[in-house]
Amino acid sequence: MKLKLHLHLRPATSGARSVIKRRILRHNYMKLTENELIGKLKELRQIQPQKSWVSLRKSQILPQESVGFSFFPYLRPALAGFLAVFVLMGGLYLAVKNSVPGEALYTLRKIAHESEAFFVSEQEKPAFQLKLANDRLEDLAKASAKNLAPTISEFQANIAEAAKGLAKMDATTSDPVVMKKIVEATKKIEENKQKVESLGVVIDESETAELNNILGKIVENLIKDLEERILTEEKAEILSQIKELFQAKNYSEALEVYLLNQ
């Protein structure tokens, strides 16, 4: 005899349905929370920290990789002080350099220029004095009317000193580099002198005339020396050019031609 089993599923009670519903909601909530968390993490990956923050944290974690003086932190205030003084000195240097006659800093500028003479050799002193004379001519273009006279006097004093040194020089035996500086400075003096005179500033010609005469004597002695030598055809042509410039009283140009062909 066969037995038949019949299973009867009773509908879930209200309590069971509530439990199942809560489980489903919790599952969906956890799934939603995970999706949101993944999305937030993706957003965070795209955020880049500020460089200042990175540098600060790096210096805190790895102090040995910080500024070179990190091994000596007590030197940092001294370094900061040195940099401050350096900046101030740089500003003072520019102020002195750009000062004009009549200003307080102009005296410092003149002293600084004149102190350079202690480091200049005897042979280079004429070129150095001509450089100072050029500086005074440039100052004349910017000086007020009441400061013109003392600046002109300084220019003339520099020209006189340069003339004394030039009177002892011989173009054939002097250093060509030094002679070239003298020629360049002399030509620049003529250019600056014309600029100043175009502004209505009158300069006594006596000192510059003396300088020109001495340059003329240097060229004259140079011509005599070259005439006593046996010259190639090319050198003879150069000598002819020097003579023409000498006759036209273009002494600095004559010296320049000689130096360019050495």
Question: 145 with 202, same domain?
Answer: yes
pTM of the model: 0.61
Question: 125 with 251, same domain?
Answer: yes
Q: What is the pLDDT of residue 5?
A: 42
Give me the amino acid identity at 119.
F
Q: What is the pLDDT of residue 52?
A: 58
Q: Which of 71, 99, 118 is the last residue of a domain?
A: 118
Q: What is the pLDDT of residue 35?
A: 59
Output the six-digit token pair for 177.
């580099």
53 CB-near residues (< 8 Å, 6+ apart): none
Count of domains observed in the chain: 2
Question: 112 with 125, same domain?
Answer: no
Q: What is the pLDDT of residue 126?
A: 93
Q: What is the largest CA-CA distance in the chain?
A: 159
Question: 99 with 169, same domain?
Answer: no
Question: 143 with 231, same domain?
Answer: yes
Question: 154 with 254, same domain?
Answer: yes
Residue count of the chain, please give it. 262
Among the listed residues 86, 150, 162, the one whose alpha carbon sits nearest the alpha carbon of residue 123: 162
Cα separation, 94 vs 106, in Å, equals: 12
Q: What is the pLDDT of residue 7?
A: 41
Residue 5 falls inside a structural domain: no
Which stretches in the chain have pLDDT values below 70? 1-93, 95-98
Question: 194 with 223, same domain?
Answer: yes
Q: Are 212 and 249 in contact (CB under 8 A)?
A: yes
Q: What is the pLDDT of residue 65?
A: 43
Q: What is the pLDDT of residue 69?
A: 41
Question: 137 with 182, same domain?
Answer: yes
Residue 142 falls inside a structural domain: yes
Question: 90 with 167, same domain?
Answer: no
Q: Which of 59, 91, 118 is the last residue of a domain?
A: 118
Helices assigned H by DSSP within 98-232: 104-115, 125-140, 148-166, 176-198, 205-227
Cα separation, 151 vs 202, in Å, equals: 12
82 CB-near residues (< 8 Å, 6+ apart): none
Question: 95 with 211, same domain?
Answer: no
Question: 173 with 252, same domain?
Answer: yes
- C-alpha torsion sign, points 159, 161, 163, 165: negative
Q: Are 101 and 135 in contact (CB under 8 A)?
A: no
Among the listed residues 238, 198, 196, 208, the one whose alpha carbon sits nearest the alpha carbon of residue 101: 196
Residue 202 falls inside a structural domain: yes
Residue 12 falls inside a structural domain: no
Residue 215 falls inside a structural domain: yes
Q: What is the pLDDT of residue 192?
A: 92
Question: 178 with 164, same domain?
Answer: yes
Which residue segment(s) compose the domain that 111 sits in? Answer: 79-118
Cα separation, 243 vs 61, in Å, equals: 80
The tens digit of pLDDT for each residue in 29-54 reads 455 455 555 565 555 555 555 555 55
Q: What is the pLDDT of residue 144?
A: 85
